[in-house]
A and B are shown apart, each in its own frame.
Chain A
Amino acid sequence: MHLVPLVCYAAAAAAYLTHFAWRDPRVGRLATAILGGGVLAHTFLIGMQTVHVGHAPLVGTTAAISAFVWLLGLSYLYIELTTDERAMGVFVAPLMVVLDLIPALDPIASPRPPLLQSSLFTLHIVSMLLAYASFALACVLGVTYVLLFNEIKAKHLGFFYARLPSLQVLDGMNARVVSIGWLCLTIGIAVGGLWATQIQSSSDPRAQAMSIADPKILVALICWLVYAFALVARRAIGWSGRRAAWLSALAFVIVLLNFVPIGYFLTKSHNF
């Protein structure tokens, strides 16, 4: 059952790739349908886990990655259906496949320690994951912007020129998802901070490690600063277009580092 979403995402990625290469609208619709099916199966899976363990499966990095992939799928589908633009799927779907490998192949539903039995915890996780999903989309939009920009700048109109939406659209969508992501990140960090002060009295070593010196928390704050800079720079010093695109692409690398390797190996506060 854990493999069903992964298989769907992989099939959707293949279909998006075929659609991108050959631009057959039927394959495009098929890709969307498969991705939708995958997200639906994923929803069902998360629902089953919730029923099984009695709480939303958000405890531990593996569960968080699964929820992240699910949210990314949902938000991508939302963007696709509202803008009727399918070109981004070829970048988003493979990212979903790679990340979903972890929860699909090693599905452990961690029991929820007493420490995490707080609605603040759920709010913290959900806003952080929403922020990450938005940043993932911003990264994809940034990469595609740079690809298209380079083709137009080099006066060599080719593959991406024929397939991607206009620079203006990509830049506008990028600005929007970065704003949404930054807002969610702000909420997530604020709620996390508030909750950390509440559990300071706990004897759990992880609660004791909740400080700015912990890599996970430190890097999250760096992310917040980087995206805050991206937003301010866009308005104040005209960092739109290619600079904004590069920034959102690179900033997501930090997000990803914080999410996966730091989450698994380095943090002492977030290893549930």
Chain B
Amino acid sequence: MRLLAVGLSHRTASVELRESVDFGRAGLDRALHALAARGISPETVVLSTCNRAEVYALGDSDAAADAITRFFCDYHGLELARLSEHLYCHRGVDAARHLFRVAAGLDSLVVGEPQILGQVKSAYAAANDLHFTGTVTHRLFHAAFAVGKRVRNETGLAEGAVSVSYAAIELARKIFGGLSGLSVLILGAGEMAKLTGVHLRAQRVREITIASRTLASAETLARQLEGRAVPWHDLRAALAAADIVVTATGAAEPVLTRAAVDEAMRSRRNRPLFVIDIALPRDVEAAVGDLEQVFLYHMDDLQSIVSENLARRSTELASAEAIVSEEVTRFASWLQAREIVPTIVALRQRFESIRQAELQRLEPKLGGLTPEARAKVDEVTRLLVEKLLLTPTEQLKTVGDDSLVVVYAEALHRLFTLTPPANAVEKPADRDEPLAPGARRR
């Protein structure tokens, strides 16, 4: 049984296609049951976010991967031809590497975004609740969580805002602590003003006030944002009451002058004021930024913060990838030890049965020996078998390539006509756990 990861993401498919294969958070259970009904794999996890839809499973051959591909088509009612070129299939250690990169945010649209780790966790939890997970997926996903956590703690990959609106919100948090008690004044009622308002509303600010040269348009926007509109000539009072001012008017001349803000600051006793100017040409005089306790940020400033953060993230990529590789190696050696163990057990059982048969055959000749000599014969033959098997066993455990493991196992089964030991196949967990640390030590 090899690990498989079949799916598509923003790297391979358009938004429309991604939308049409979205399992949805609530639909995970149904998808898992549908997969189980097809009997493709004993262990299955479905990961579905707005940027990816993936199935993690165990399968013996490409038939399993094809079956999962067909499942994608049937489940979402899509034609195979439409989907197949967008689907990727990772096998064995590559599947693990893929999941680790996903969990670390390395495969995300916005590299390092933190939500993905939570989504991977809930995908695993959904499968685990329905008992669709097993030894391999359990180990795989917990290793992925560890990768995500390590990348977050040990690298700066997830640091700093990478969108203008989030950069502004992060700044507001650094100034005011939280946004929940703040009152926001928006100047202008255009599309940009609306977008910013929606963002701020989502942050649960206390109050949104909108001022525009035409009161009617301010009132329209105020209704949409559950805010309040004030006439333009009341700007002075509104300014004094605000913590955050967003300016997005189409005015050709600055609408906020240093004198006006200075006056407002007096009546507010120097409570900090965060002014975000997203208008072009600028709405706020640059000199406003010189005032004590006034923080003035223009669109360009936010943009340059974002690009700085993006640059910083890209320098952290290498260390994040190094963590992924380290964990992949660790997982691979566990997986390999696990895959080769049934073969080793079968080989040893085969040799032991030959030894027993030979002893049985020689029983008449050995009958005359003293019990001590009889024990010696037993001991010598046992040691001989051990010695013969020592090197092959060690070699098998250190095979580097997981496809080679399959080849070796196949060869050994043929050469020695091995039958897979029943207990090793059905209950690998009993055997592979103690082996794992040994495998890691190498």
Select the stretch in A130-138, A198-206, A237-245, A263-271 that faces chain B: A237-245
Using known A-B contacts A155-B301, A240-B270, A241-B270, determine if residue A168 contacts B177 with beta carbons closer than 8 Å.
yes
CB contact list, A97-143 vs B, under 8 A: none
The size class of the interface chain B forms with chain A is: 20 to 34
Smallest CB separation, A248 vs chain B (Å): 16
Q: Which residues of B contact A166 (CB under 8 A)?
A: 173-177
Q: Which of the 9-residue segments B48-56, B131-139, B210-218, B292-300 touches chain A?
A: B292-300
**Chain A, 20-56, CB within 8 A of any chain B CB:** 24-25
User: Which A residues are CB-close (under 8 A) to B174?
Assistant: 148, 152, 161, 166-167
**A162 beta carbon closer than 8 Å to chain B:** yes
Q: Digit string of A168-205 for contact with B (CB within 8 Å is 1, else 0)?
A: 11001000000000000000000000000000000000
- Distance (Å) between the CB of B91 and the closest chain A CB? 36
Q: What residue in chain B is nearest A169 (Cβ atoms)? A: B177
Kindly identify, within residues 261 to 291 of chain B, every residue whose CB is under 8 Å from any CB belonging to chain A: 268-272, 289
Q: Does B327 contact A (CB under 8 A)?
A: no
Counting CB contacts under 8 A, is B359 at the interface? no
Q: If A148-B174, A155-B301 touch, does A25 touch B292 (CB 8 Å cutoff)?
A: no
B270 and A157 within 8 A (CB): no
Across-interface contacts of A157 in B (CB, < 8 A)? 160, 171, 305, 308
Chain B residues with CB under 8 Å of A152's CB are: 171, 174-175, 295
A240 to B273, CA, bound (A): 13
Contact with A along B308-340 (1 / 0, CB 8 A): 100000000000000000000000000000000
Report the nearest A residue to B174, measured CB to CB. Answer: A166
Tell me the count of chain A residues lying within 8 A, CB to CB, of chain B. 22
Q: Indicate if the CB atoms of A241 and B171 lie closer than 8 Å.
A: no
Contacts of A239 in B (CB 8 A): 270
Smallest distance from the beta carbon of A29 to chain B beta carbons, Å?
13
Chain A residues within 8 Å of B304, by CB: 155
Write out the residue numbers on chain A whose beta carbons fall within 8 Å of the beta carbon of B154: 24
- How far does the alpha carbon of A242 sit from the alpha carbon of B270 in the complex, in Å? 10
Question: Which chain B residue lies CB-closest to A157?
Answer: B305
The answer to whether B159 has its CB under 8 Å from any CB of chain A is yes
| Contact A167–B292 (Cβ < 8 Å) | no
Closest chain A residue to B274, Cβ basis: A152
A72 → chain B, closest Cβ, in Å? 25
CA of A239 to CA of B292, assembled, Å = 11
Q: Is the CB of A155 within 8 A of B297?
A: yes
Docked Cα-Cα span, A239 to B122, in Å, equals: 49
Q: A24-B153, A152-B171, A155-B301 are in contact. Are A167 and B272 (CB under 8 A)?
A: yes
Among residues of B, the one whose C-beta sits closest to the C-beta of A23 is B153
The answer to whether B177 touches A238 (Cβ under 8 A) is no
**Min distance, Cβ A148 to any Cβ of chain B, angstroms:** 7
A153 (CB) vs chain B CBs: closest residue: B295
Question: In whole angstroms, how far apart are the Cα atoms of A237 and B268 in the complex?
Answer: 10
**What is the CB-to-nearest-CB distance from A237 to chain B, in angstroms, rounded to a whole number?**
8
By a CB distance below 8 angstroms, the chain B residues around A167 are 174-177, 272
Instruction: Tell me, in angstroms, the Cα distance from A153 to B175 when the chains sit together.
Output: 10
Give the docked Cα–Cα distance between A13 and B124 (Å).
41
Complex CA distance for A157 and B161, rounded to whole angstroms: 11
Q: What residues of chain B have their CB less than 8 Å away from a CB belonging to chain A?
A: 153-154, 159-160, 171, 173-177, 268-272, 289, 292-293, 295, 297, 301, 304-305, 308
Given contacts A152-B171, A167-B177, A241-B270, list 6 more A-B pairs with CB under 8 A.
Answer: A148-B174, A165-B177, A168-B177, A172-B177, A238-B268, A238-B269
26 of the cross-chain contacts (CB-CB < 8 Å) are A24-B153, A24-B154, A25-B153, A148-B174, A153-B289, A155-B304, A155-B305, A157-B171, A157-B305, A161-B174, A162-B159, A162-B160, A166-B173, A166-B174, A167-B175, A167-B176, A167-B177, A167-B272, A168-B177, A172-B177, A237-B269, A238-B270, A240-B271, A242-B292, A242-B293, A243-B270
The 10 tightest CB contacts between A and B, nearest first, are A238-B269, A238-B270, A168-B177, A166-B177, A155-B301, A168-B176, A166-B174, A169-B177, A241-B293, A167-B175
